[in-house]
């Protein structure tokens, strides 16, 4: 009596991950084998249990969420796109959403504070994408990351007023210190006269030989112990060096 043939076991021959038999070398491929395979000859993922990029299917991919924000005067929108992303698709998504946030995110009272927080939160996904190897094995080409964020027009439009403010404040302070008002900083030996400026009497420097000169600057009161001569006039500290030193004015003979 002959032995009946034994049924082939599931694991006896080569199988793909979905249970369909793999054709032997030289055999014809069945319908399951038609079309391009994204992860190698048999469709097996290089790292089982993980997924490729959600946009192109390439691997390796990082699980991360890229965020955006839109301020709408009274209302606001919180945007997010969850991974996994490959390196190129992740960077392209990060740069696009962050660039849009830079010019769309400030138009609201609360959005002024939410926008910088959103941009800072995107730095974590950006670092994850940059650590990935170049994408491979996708079912479509990965997105082009494009220009770096700091070279895009919305960033330049955002940085321009910021730089103007940062540079403008020191410039205005410097001009104010250099120009000051009409009250001079007096030095010993100069001659001055009282003149009405439309609001009050103010000292103006005059040539000592001019008949308009009334006083000569004779001394600076550098310390609290310094004193002027009995007939001298004492100016306020606003005529002194750095606005902190008083001076003695001796009347000129008439």
Q: Which residues pair with 221 in a beta bridge?
A: 246
Annotated domain spans of the chain: 65-162, 191-251
- Strand, coil or helix: what is 68? strand
Question: pLDDT tens digit string along 101-126?
Answer: 988 888 888 888 998 899 999 999 99
CA nearest to 89, candidates 136, 44, 123: 136
Classify residue 19 as exposed, middle or buried by CB count within 10 Å of its CB (0-12, 13-18, 19+). exposed
pLDDT in tens, 40-83: 433 445 554 456 999 999 999 999 999 999 988 888 999 999 98
Low-confidence ranges of the chain (pLDDT < 70): 1-51, 158-165, 176-184, 197-198, 238-244
The phi-psi region of residue 123 (left if phi > 0; otherwise alpha if psi is between -120 and 50; otherwise beta) is alpha
Q: Structure tokens of 20? A: 């369909």
**What pLDDT, on the 0 to 100 scale, is given for residue 126?**
94
State the pLDDT at residue 21: 43
Task: Return all residues near 237 (Cβ < 8 A) that are at least 6 apart.
Answer: 243, 244, 245, 246
**Nearest CA-CA partner of 86 in 124, 54, 53, 46:** 53
* φ/ψ of residue 12, rounded to 5: -75, -35
Closest-CA residue to 89 (of 149, 146, 151, 152): 146
- Looking at residue 35, its pLDDT comes to 41
Any residues with CB less than 8 A from the CB of 1 and at least 6 apart, and which? Answer: none
In the chain the first and final C-alpha atoms are separated, in Å, by 152
Task: Please report where in the chains the tokens 């021959």 appear, as a residue.
Answer: 13
Distance (Å) of CA 151 to CA 128, 155, 220, 229 = 21, 7, 56, 67
Distance, CA of 124 to CA of 65 (rounded, Å):
9
- pLDDT for the residue 232: 87
Looking at residue 92, its pLDDT comes to 94
235 touches 249 (CB < 8 A) = yes
3-state secondary structure 184-235: CCCCCCCEEEEEECCCCEEEEEECCCCCCCCEEEEEEECCCCCCCCCCCEEC
> 2 is written with which tokens?
């002959």
């Amino acid at each position: 009596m002959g032995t009946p043939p034994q049924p082939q076991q599931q694991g006896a021959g080569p199988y793909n991950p979905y249970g369909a038999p793999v054709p032997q070398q030289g055999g014809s491929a069945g319908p399951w084998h038609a079309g391009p395979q994204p992860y190698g000859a048999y469709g097996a993922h290089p790292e089982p249990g993980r997924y490729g990029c959600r946009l192109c299917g390439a691997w390796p991919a990082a699980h991360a969420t890229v965020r955006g924000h839109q301020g709408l005067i009274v209302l606001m929108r919180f945007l997010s796109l969850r991974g996994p992303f490959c390196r190129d698709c992740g960077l392209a998504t990060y740069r696009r959403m962050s660039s849009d946030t830079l010019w769309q995110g400030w138009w609201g009272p609360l959005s002024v504070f939410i926008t910088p927080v959103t941009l800072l939160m995107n730095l974590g996904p950006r670092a994850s994408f940059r650590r990935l190897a170049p994408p491979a094995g996708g079912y479509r080409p990965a997105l082009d990351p494009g220009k770096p964020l700091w070279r895009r027009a919305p960033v330049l439009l955002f940085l321009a007023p910021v730089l103007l403010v940062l540079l403008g404040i020191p410039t205005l302070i410097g001009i104010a210190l250099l120009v000051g008002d009409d009250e001079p900083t007096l030095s010993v030996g100069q001659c001055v006269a009282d003149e009405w400026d439309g609001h009050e009497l103010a000292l103006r420097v005059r040539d000592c030989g001019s008949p308009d000169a009334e006083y000569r600057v004779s001394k600076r009161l550098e310390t609290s112990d310094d004193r002027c001569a009995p007939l001298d006039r004492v100016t306020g500290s606003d005529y002194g060096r750095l606005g902190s030193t008083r001076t003695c004015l001796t009347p000129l003979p008439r």
